[in-house]
Structure 1
Amino acid sequence: MTPDSTQPDASATEPATDESEELRVLIEDAQCVLFDFDGPICRLFAGHSAGKVAEEQVRWLEEQGLHGLLESGVRDEADPYVVLRAVDERHPDSDLVVELEARLTREEQKAVPSAWPTPYADALVRTWTATGARLAVTTNNSPGPVAGYLADRGLIDCFAPRIYGRTQDLHLLKPDPYCVNRALTAMGADPARALMIGDAASDYQAATAAGVRFLGYARNARKEAALRRAGAAHVVDSLEPVLRTLRREMPRGR
């Protein structure tokens, strides 16, 4: 797994900006922080192509004689989660869906060693933990690969056992707030004192449904546009200003 790149000191004092003021407001009352996994913490499929995983899913379905399960647009889809959802919508709770979900979990596990950490994510997680905030992962990924990645990065103690990921009840994936509500219940958290960080419209929708404030992370313009269209008011293209703001607030902290 590729180590975090060398980063400038984010603790240096800099003039306050509108962005940092917005971040300060989001951060200062966050007793619980919920992280989506693939995006805000790492790029899980950075070295293990998600597109190829989707192709393998479609090929496997064809080998089972189930080509007709997928619409033509889904057959060309580069996102394995879209393929999984499409099959589940046609045959919910079937053995077919169970097998397809298990195959995706194995591919996620294979992707862990070549996943790329999101810049500043490791430091942000450790710093937030140091403030006394409670952290959880709320993700559509399978919890096993998530825990494996966090253990490899030395971050598992910042989250465990609060890793809430995909179950075989696929209708409960985000944008359903199920995993967010599970995290809040387990921590006895007030939604109004929680913050979720995610990179997809479904993350924003799940957080909103659960009454949790939301900070979008967008590593490119396409992701930012999708978050903005969904209604996300606060979006950053780097976690560095989040880390810098958090460090600035620490002396006043809890």
Structure 2
Amino acid sequence: MTSDATQTERVARERERVRPLVARARVVLWDFDGPICRLFAGHKAHQVAEDLIEWLGAQGLRGLLTPEEQRTADPHVVLHAVDRMHPRSDLVAALEERLTEAELTAAASAWPTPYADPLIRTLVATGVRLAIATNNSPRTARAYLSGRNLEACFAPHVYGRTTNLALLKPHPYCLDRALTATGATREATLMIGDTPSDLIAARRAGIGFLGYARDERKRKLLHEAGAGAGDVVTSLESVLQVARDRP
């Protein structure tokens, strides 16, 4: 069997599994980095983490990080480590701003997730309301969406990171903000995310969850966090096909 035929069969199986979940959604909340784009495809996340660690070192504050944290490739690990020692401080605010600036730079070279753009437009065309609930800066999400002419599909419902890091996912804070602002019922709301923190936040908010796993590692992490086989897709193509079937 050719790879194209295998892909077609896989998409068809995923389409039928997720059809009930997608068909009943009247509001869809999106995580940003992953389901909509690969934010650090061009401007690598490990470079951002290194820059943040170097900045802390220049302030004489590298010791706020454990040896393991000083080797991390995840900028959010650096941010959370400093917040653990100095929660909601000016230092955290300065570090968060540096991370936001790095994200804004990365947004210019981000890779669109396959099928995300047409899925977003199709959902809007069929009357579904959209919002973003992300641990990235809302400024970053808006900048990317503007560059793809998608901002109007979400405006004004873009909810993201603040300097109160305790409210980042898996806390449901930004999901609850989106639900309140859109006037959505929880039964008719679906979250599309690609990490266990997205899944946990959705469950805490009492809404449905659809996992996007672009590779086997992502799929395994979602399943280990409790996502069922019918709640995870490896491509948004199957979701797009269901959306196109909506009245």
Q: Which letter does structure 2 place at the counterpart of 1:54?
A: A
Q: State the distance in 2 between where 1:43 and 1:246 align.
A: 22
Aligned to 1:238: 235
Aligned to 1:26: 21
Extract unaligned runs of 5+ from structure 2: none
Q: State the distance in 1 between where 2:37 and 2:65 align.
A: 30
Equivalences for residues 113-192 of structure 1 within 5 A:
113-192=108-187
Q: CA deviation at 1:113?
A: 1.1
Q: State the distance in 2 between where 1:173 and 1:35 align.
A: 14
Q: CA deviation at 1:50?
A: 0.5
Q: State the distance in 1 between where 2:197 and 2:32 align.
A: 13
Extract unaligned runs of 5+ from structure 1: 1-7
Aligned to 2:104: 109
Aligned to 2:197: 202
Q: CA deviation at 1:28?
A: 1.2
Q: Which letter does structure 1 place at the counterpart of 2:160?
A: G
The change in CA–CA distance for 1:180 and 1:14 in structure 2 (over 3 A counts) is same
Q: Which letter does structure 2 place at the counterpart of 1:200?
A: T
Deviations 1:167-199 (A, max 9, x none): 111110000000000000001111111000001
Q: State the distance in 2 between where 1:80 and 1:97 align.
A: 13
Structure 1 position 217 matched with structure 2 position 212? yes
Deviations 1:17-71 (A, max 9, x none): 5532221110111000000000000001110011000001111111111121111
Q: CA deviation at 1:226?
A: 0.9
State the aligned residue count.
Answer: 239
Query: What's the secondary structure of 2:105's corresponding residue?
Result: helix
Q: State the distance in 2 between where 1:109 and 1:100 align.
A: 14
Query: What's the secondary structure of 1:46's corresponding residue?
Result: coil
Q: State the distance in 1 between where 2:77 and 2:94 align.
A: 16
The change in CA–CA distance for 1:17 and 1:117 in structure 2 (over 3 A counts) is closer
Query: What's the secondary structure of 2:132's corresponding residue?
Result: strand
Contact 2:11 2:237 in 1 (8 A): no
RMSD: 1.7
Determine what percentage of the aligned residue pairs are the same residue.
57
Q: State the distance in 2 between where 1:143 and 1:20 align.
A: 31
Match of residue 66, structure 2, among 62, 71, 82: 71
Q: CA deviation at 1:221?
A: 1.0
Aligned to 1:5: none
The change in CA–CA distance for 1:218 and 1:14 in structure 2 (over 3 A counts) is closer
Q: State the distance in 2 between where 1:68 and 1:16 align.
A: 49
Q: CA deviation at 1:93?
A: 1.0
Q: State the distance in 2 between where 1:218 and 1:85 align.
A: 25
Q: CA deviation at 1:245?
A: 1.7
TM-score (norm. length: structure 2):
0.93
Deviations 1:131-150 (A, max 9, x none): 10100000001011110110
Match of residue 39, structure 1, among 16, 26, 34: 34
